[in-house]
Amino acid sequence: MILTLAILLFIILEAGNVMILYFAPDSKMGNGVAVFNAWEKSKENPDMHEFVRYMVFWVAGTKLIFISLLIVVLLTGSTMTKMLSVFVLILSIASYFWRLHPIIKLLDSRNEISPGGYSKTLGKMIAGFMVMFILSLCVYLIFFNS
């Protein structure tokens, strides 16, 4: 049950992010790209803006694939499949700190992100996801894996 709840919470939050990316990319909420000053600058060059829009929608599509697979895991997966899915989510979410976080920190330090300090907020939020999944996995292994 604890693994299901953690996965379900992630699905709900990511579904909101997908909706923002597809239908309100100008938003500064969720994964809206308006936090990047380059989003507005890209509108000055139609070719560049179309490329940026393509990448935004590509990210949304990738998130949609994750969400869809997690729904299948919730509906048809065994407890072992759910446990391994949570483990894989921890690893895949951790990849943010390998490639994306250094870039967003750099952009933040150059005042290319509004509001300032967004990289810290995003880093804490993503670390929070990892902690949620790690704790749910530990709780499952300690209390429910008998």
Domain ranges of the chain: 2-27+37-141
Q: Rounded to whole angstroms, how far apart are CA atoms 11 and 70? A: 7
pLDDT at residue 146 in the model: 66
Classify the C-alpha dihedral 76-78-80-83 as positive or negative.
Answer: positive
Q: What is the pLDDT along the chain (146 residues), one digit of tens a residue?
A: 899 999 999 999 999 999 999 999 999 988 889 999 999 999 999 999 999 999 999 999 999 999 999 999 999 999 999 999 999 999 999 999 999 999 999 999 999 999 999 999 999 999 999 999 999 999 999 988 76
pLDDT at residue 22 in the model: 96
CB 56 within 8 A of CB 21: yes
pLDDT at residue 30 in the model: 84
| 3-class secondary structure, 111 | coil
Q: Rounded to whole angstroms, how far apart are CA atoms 117 and 106? A: 11
pLDDT at residue 74 in the model: 96
